[in-house]
Amino acid sequence: MGMTITEKILAKSAGKAKVEPGQNVWLNVDVLMTHDVCGPPTIDIWKREFGDRAKIWDKQKLVIFPDHYIFTQNPQANRNVDILRQFASEYNLPNYYDVGTDRYKGVCHIALAEEGYNIPGTVLFGTDSHSCTSGAFGMFSTGVGNTDAAFILGTGKIWEKVPESLKFTFDGELPNYLTAKDLILQVLGDITTDGGTYRALEFNGDAVYSMEMDERMTLTNMAIEAGAMNGIIAADSVTDKYVKERSQKEYEIFQSDNDAVYRSEFHYDTSKMEPLVAKPHSPDNKDTVRNVEGTKLTKCYIGSCTGGKLSDFKSAAKFLFGNEVNVPTFVVPASTYVAQQLEIETISGVSLKSIFENAGCVIAESSCAACLGGPMDTVGRAIDGEVIISTTNRNFPGRMGSKKSEVYLASPLTVAVSALTGVITDPRNFL
Amino acid sequence: MEKIIKGKAFVLGDNIDTDQIIPAEHLVYSLSDPEESKMYGKFALSGVPLIKSGLPDGSKAFIAGDNTESEFSIIIAGSNFGCGSSREHAPFALEKAGVKAIAAESYARIFYRNAVDGGFVIPYESTKKLIDKIKTGDEVEINLNTNHLKNITTGEEFNLNPLGDVLPIIEAGNIFEYARINEMI
Ligand code: SF4
């Protein structure tokens, strides 16, 4: 009986020839990532538990990105960043990306990819539920709480239960009105918000391998919305090229065996799929854009680790080029690198940044911003009973701010055309 | 470790997410300051919509008035308990409120790990739906030796899934104690 890619990577990390779903194993961690919300309590627990003997297991493997509550006057939020800064200078940490310096990167999951920390075949843990994003690089990555992170910080080890795998195969070409976001909203609608609990979601098929890394990350990012432990896409030449441009590290590429065992398998023909939304108030509340077309909007939002990558802005800009938005529209590049690229990438000689500015969008600085509501002064935060369409990943009550607001999750194409009309609109109307 | 946990049940439905367990606006309090951390008990389960708070009737306060501890020490819930963010404040808040154990049909992975590894509450899985067998306020007893849950009020008994591989961590107290006992750290 063969093994899945997830099983192979966990076996290697645990120093075993073979592992099976349900088995608890102790893993050697390759990267521990934390940020401004969970970093300070993690450091507290590490100091409390290890006391005078507290030692960081491997400074090269600890990566810290302040990204959540950054551009705010909120004193507790700023105190958290101060704690990280002090910790980084006290221990002389090489991989701390401080706010207010040119090292500042923005949203952690995207910065991990850009800075060359995502390496096929490795194991990454992060104190953030969307740490599953890195699985797009053919690696195992998942989120943990502060206690587990503190344990890793001191030992480099952590236990994990080997997950069963679910396999999602997307065959066919991806039509120009669909993006990875539509695909993952379909999966969430089909398996619901606990369909992946303690499981791995493995993505496969021509449509997936035709995607660039940005788009693949949208699929793995939202694996946690099904409750999954990890999302994973085996590395190919596209992955290899992306990684080699950013890292000198040697790595091993793993593939699932042909006789690997899956709990269940799902097949989709992308040529028959439609643009989708997740209606308020759950990411699995799937509907077609056609069915909710005409819903009046008060705000549009393009940003976050799910929908604030360069590919997302390229998709949106195609529709916004030469047009003006009809409702307030916020553009929040996930990372400072993406923000720079908006000035460099062009359509017919016009930079993406100018396209968004000319269309009347508000362009904010890179951070998590209103994806999770944030302090009251956060740019794009949901107010009162607003109706918002957003490229983010969660629409639980109050997630983007006000508990009274209603949030629809959709692809950057659907959000862009809806921004132009002021009501939810199918991108096929504009093709 | 206590092998018999006895207390009043508080019954909740499916998909109780971390925002319902402890709403994000309360995450500013210190977890390590003994006085300030009581606020987590005070606001535990304060995000649960009123009609779903304390089933089957709802509208029951988990925390009465200005208290920081609850009269209910065992939570009975449906599936996917603790879904949402990775915030460890969620099981911490339940512990602060005096909760000793939960019997839910299933848990979100990060909540489950946090509950066990931080030693906050014992997360038992029920083998079938209990939320229509137990009412908020019923006296219940969980036996860790036999993995049984008894509704003392009605006399009914139910099986719970054995804690399995995580039992040694729960018995040790938390992941750090477990590692010390096993000379890993
Ligand atoms: S952008 Fe949103 S989902 Fe992504 S890490 Fe930040 S808060 Fe979480």
User: Alpha-carbon distance B172 to B178, whole Å?
Assistant: 5
Check residue A396 and give its pLDDT: 87
Q: What is the CA radius of gyration of chain A?
A: 21
Pairing of strands B72-77, A157-161: unpaired
Mean pLDDT score, A27-38: 96
pLDDT per position as a tens digit, A322-379: 999 999 999 999 999 999 999 999 999 999 999 999 999 999 999 999 998 888 899 9
Give the model's confidence band at B89: pLDDT under 50 very low, under 70 low, under 90 confident, else very high: very high
| Candidate from A130, A141, A332, A391 with most ligand 1 atoms within 8 A of CB, to mutate | A130
Question: How many structural domains does chain A have?
Answer: 2
User: Alpha-carbon distance A123 to A258, whole Å?
Assistant: 23
Mean pLDDT score, A404-412: 97
Check residue A373 and give its pLDDT: 86
- A52 and A143 co-located in one domain: yes
Mean pLDDT score, B130-138: 97
pLDDT per position as a tens digit, A44-80: 999 999 999 999 999 999 999 999 999 989 888 899 9
- A188 and A230 co-located in one domain: yes
Check residue B2 and give its pLDDT: 84
Domain boundary, last residue among A268, A294, A329: A268
| Domain residue limits at A384 | 277-430
Domain boundary, last residue among A239, A268, A297: A268
- Ligand 1, atom nearest to A393 Cα: 3
- Residue among B84, B109, B185 whose CB faces A197 most closely: B109
- What residues of chain A, 86 to 145, have a C-beta less than 8 Å from chain B? 127-129, 143-145
CATH number at residue A229: 3.30.499.10
Is 80 exceeded by the pLDDT of residue B28? no
Check residue A1 and give its pLDDT: 86
Please provide residue B51's backbone torsions phi and psi, each rounded to the nearest 5 degrees. -65, -20
- A177 and A96 co-located in one domain: yes
The whole model's pTM is what? 0.95
| DSSP symbols for A307-321 | H-SHHHHHHHHHHHT
Domains and CATH numbers, chain B: 4-181 (3.20.19.10)
- A100 and A242 co-located in one domain: yes
Is 90 exceeded by the pLDDT of residue A136? yes
- A140 and A235 co-located in one domain: yes
Mean pLDDT score, B105-134: 97
Average pLDDT, chain A: 97
ipTM above 0.85, yes or no: yes
Ligand 1 centre distance from Cα of residue A396 (Å): 14
Contact yes or no for A187/A419 (Cβ under 8 A): no
Ligand 1 centre distance from Cα of residue A304 (Å): 6
User: Alpha-carbon distance A146 to A40, whole Å?
Assistant: 9
User: Alpha-carbon distance B30 to B35, whole Å?
Assistant: 9
Ligand 1 centre distance from Cα of residue A225 (Å): 12
pLDDT per position as a tens digit, A258-301: 999 999 999 999 999 999 999 999 999 999 999 999 999 999 99
Going by alpha carbons, the residue nearest to atom 6 of ligand 1 is: A368
CB contact under 8 A, B88 and A161: no
Is 90 exceeded by the pLDDT of residue A430? yes
- Residue among A129, A197, A399 whose CB faces B106 most closely: A197
- A138 and A167 co-located in one domain: yes
DSSP A162: P
Is 90 exceeded by the pLDDT of residue A403? no
Mean pLDDT score, A213-235: 98
Ligand 1 pocket, residues with Cβ under 6 angstroms: A 68, 107, 109, 128, 130, 304-305, 368, 371-372, 393
- Return the higher-pLDDT residue of A387 and B86: A387
Domain boundary, last residue among A268, A301, A332: A268
Is 80 exceeded by the pLDDT of residue B25? no
- Residue among A129, A194, A394 whose CB faces B110 most closely: A129
- A186 and A90 co-located in one domain: yes
Query: How many angstroms away from the CA of B58 is the closest CA of chain A?
Result: 19
Check residue A74 and give its pLDDT: 84
- A245 and A185 co-located in one domain: yes
- A347 and A422 co-located in one domain: yes
Q: Where is average pLDDT lowest: A167-181, A330-344, B24-38, B49-63?
A: B24-38
- A31 and A123 co-located in one domain: yes
**CA-wise closest residue to A398 among B40, B123, B131, B17:** B17
CB contact under 8 A, B28 and A76: yes
Which residues fall within 8 angstroms of residue A29, CB to CB, at 6 or more apart? A13, A61, A123, A124, A125, A152, A156, A157, A158
A92 CA to centre of own chain: 28
pLDDT per position as a tens digit, A63-72: 999 999 999 8
Is 90 exceeded by the pLDDT of residue B85? no
Structure tokens at A353: 């940044």
Check residue A236 and give its pLDDT: 98
Which residues fall within 8 angstroms of residue A150, CB to CB, at 6 or more apart? A42, A43, A44, A45, A46, A49
- Ligand 1, atom nearest to A67 Cα: 6
- Helix (H/G/I), strand (E/B), else coil: A287: strand
- A178 and A306 co-located in one domain: no
Give contacts of A194 with chain B, Cβ < 8 Å.
Answer: 15, 79-80, 83, 106, 108
- A20 and A135 co-located in one domain: yes
Is 90 exceeded by the pLDDT of residue A383? yes
Ligand 1 centre distance from Cα of residue A372 (Å): 7
Give the model's confidence band at B97: pLDDT under 50 very low, under 70 low, under 90 confident, else very high: very high
Check residue A374 and give its pLDDT: 81
Is 80 exceeded by the pLDDT of residue B5? yes
